[in-house]
A and B are shown apart, each in its own frame.
Chain A
Amino acid sequence: MGEFDFSVWGPSLPFIRDGLLFTLRLTLIAMTGGIVFGTLLALARLSPIVPLSRVAGAYVDLMRSVPLVLVILWFFLVIPYLTGKPVGAEVSAIITFTAFEAAFYCEIMRSGIQSVSRGQVHAAHALGLTQAQAMIHVVLPQALRNMLPVLLTQTIVLFQDTSLVYAIGAKDMLKAADVVGKNYNRPVEMIVLSALIYFAICFSLSLAVRQLQKRVAIVR
């Protein structure tokens, strides 16, 4: 095979960019949807209504006990049955990641909600706020703020995990690198390139989270 030839990186960039855009889009949608559904799941888990909290708990346990690749494949096969038509790898990936990440964000939001003291809830109730108003205006904003670093760390994990969509052939960055690598017969160089991009993005996000953690620590 001889020496490495990194000149393949230049012509690969448009493909890599398109793949990266999908990866980022998938990450952002799954993060937003995951936090929203995860918060609802957390509220269900903490609810005094036992059947509701059981169902939410079972969902979270199921998602957390099955390898992500299997969930991705399973959704890819099952969603067409539910919707009656094939939805494509990209849409399937978005639905899967939102549903899967919701279970993880749920556990983060649950500990966030529990980190807000009873006294705060009492104060909100004493002012006449209803259960729902106390949750929306007093508890959740504090839970989100307390958990921000952990939520972002989970998002970094999510960003890396999106590479698993190769299993269903969605065109993310890794897939783009793979295709270009095969076309130019330079697979190793392309894998190195995608690893560098993953590293650069994740490492700078980690640094940002660390900075944020310091700031949150000072405010409190």
Chain B
Amino acid sequence: MIEIRNVSKWYGPTQVLKGCSTQVAKGEVVVVCGPSGSGKSTLIKCVNGLEPFTEGSIAVDGISVGDPKTDLPKLRARVGMVFQHFELFPHMSVRQNLALAQVRVLGRKAEEADARGMSLLDRVGLRAHADKFPGQLSGGQQQRVAIARALAMDPICLLFDEPTSALDPEMIGEVLDVMVELAQEGMTMMCVTHEMGFARKVARRVVFMDHGEIVEDAPAGAFFDAPASDRARTFLARILHH
């Protein structure tokens, strides 16, 4: 589903991605982790072309992301993304947030889009909040709305960019519950996260990055029980400590 081959990226003279290669198969959940500044957020943003890359290639469902001939908006409409800071549109109600792209991008009728949005709100347990504005919701609620907004486009895969890093600890669980459910239903997911409990529970593979490189790409069990590199061991010791 997602093929990343030898992707490198420079910001001026600084290289932020160094020959990264990995893939996510259909129905697979892959967790990307690593210390901050390791390039994991940059890498996931390359997958739907929000960040351009300098070398290598990325294909999603066989479509090349870096090809200038690719209709990026069309491709992105099929790839859902959930952001660290939710990025709901603050000037629109929850209902409008869910409907906007369905109507403008997929060309659905307003009622159809609204019905789809409401059923997804139901699913994340927020139907009662449909007419509120994002600013009136807690962080956890906003992130669940953001997941529903991504799902409303009927995506073929979902990208998560540190979906719980900006949340208060007591709200992390409600967001992870939704993500676990999606994973168990067979959604293809690439998740940048430090939630190792989540990774253990649903990830098939873990990709560990440091300094712009993919240091390890291993089955989840093997990664947690016997990390191959010192850097991964140090990282795991640090984040599993508390």
Q: Which of A174-220 contact B (CB under 8 A)?
A: 219-220
A125 within 8 Å of B (CB atoms): yes
**Across the interface, do A145 and B50 meet the contact criterion of CB distance under 8 Å?**
no
Q: Interface size of B by Cβ–Cβ distance < 8 Å?
A: 28
Of A11-19, A94-102, A135-143, A162-170, which stretch is located at the interface?
Answer: A135-143
Q: Nearest Cβ distance between residue A143 and chain B, in whole angstroms? A: 10
Contacts of B76 in A (CB 8 A): 125-128
Other-chain contact of B91, A119, A124, A142 (Cβ < 8 Å)? A142
**Across the interface, do A129 and B105 meet the contact criterion of CB distance under 8 Å?**
yes
Q: Which of B147-189 contact A (CB under 8 A)?
A: 149-150, 153
**Across the interface, do A129 and B104 meet the contact criterion of CB distance under 8 Å?**
yes
Q: How large is the interface on A (under 10, 10 to 19, 20 to 34, 35 or more residues)?
A: 10 to 19
| Chain B: CB-nearest residue to A142 | B91
Contacts of B83 in A (CB 8 A): 119, 122-123, 126
A interface with B by C-beta (< 8 Å)? 119-120, 122-130, 133, 137-138, 141-142, 145, 219-220
Measured in the bound complex, the distance between the Cα atoms of B73 and A125 in whole Å is 7
Other-chain contact of A120, B45, B72, B89, B135 (Cβ < 8 Å)? B89
Q: Nearest Cβ distance between residue B33 and chain A, in whole angstroms? A: 21
Other-chain contact of A220, B50, B104, B135 (Cβ < 8 Å)? B135
Pairs across A and B, CB under 8 Å, 12 listed: A119-B87, A123-B83, A125-B50, A126-B150, A127-B101, A127-B105, A128-B73, A128-B74, A128-B101, A129-B73, A130-B73, A145-B91
**Across the interface, do B104 and A142 meet the contact criterion of CB distance under 8 Å?**
no
Q: Which of B29-80 contact A (CB under 8 A)?
A: 45, 48, 50, 72-74, 76-80
B interface with A by C-beta (< 8 Å)? 45, 48, 50, 72-74, 76-81, 83, 85, 87-91, 100-101, 104-106, 135, 149-150, 153
**Across the interface, do A126 and B85 meet the contact criterion of CB distance under 8 Å?**
no
Contacts of B77 in A (CB 8 A): 127-128
Contacts of A219 in B (CB 8 A): 135
Q: Nearest Cβ distance between residue A212 and chain B, in whole angstroms? A: 16
Measured in the bound complex, the distance between the Cα atoms of B48 and A220 in whole Å is 30
| Chain A: CB-nearest residue to B149 | A127
Q: Nearest Cβ distance between residue A115 and chain B, in whole angstroms? A: 12
**Across the interface, do B87 and A122 meet the contact criterion of CB distance under 8 Å?**
yes
Q: Nearest Cβ distance between residue A85 and chain B, in whole angstroms? A: 45
| Chain B: CB-nearest residue to A145 | B91
Contacts of A145 in B (CB 8 A): 91
New A-B pairs, 16, CB < 8 Å, besides A123-B87, A127-B77: A119-B83, A120-B89, A122-B83, A125-B73, A126-B50, A126-B76, A126-B79, A126-B81, A126-B83, A128-B74, A128-B78, A128-B105, A129-B104, A133-B104, A133-B105, A137-B89
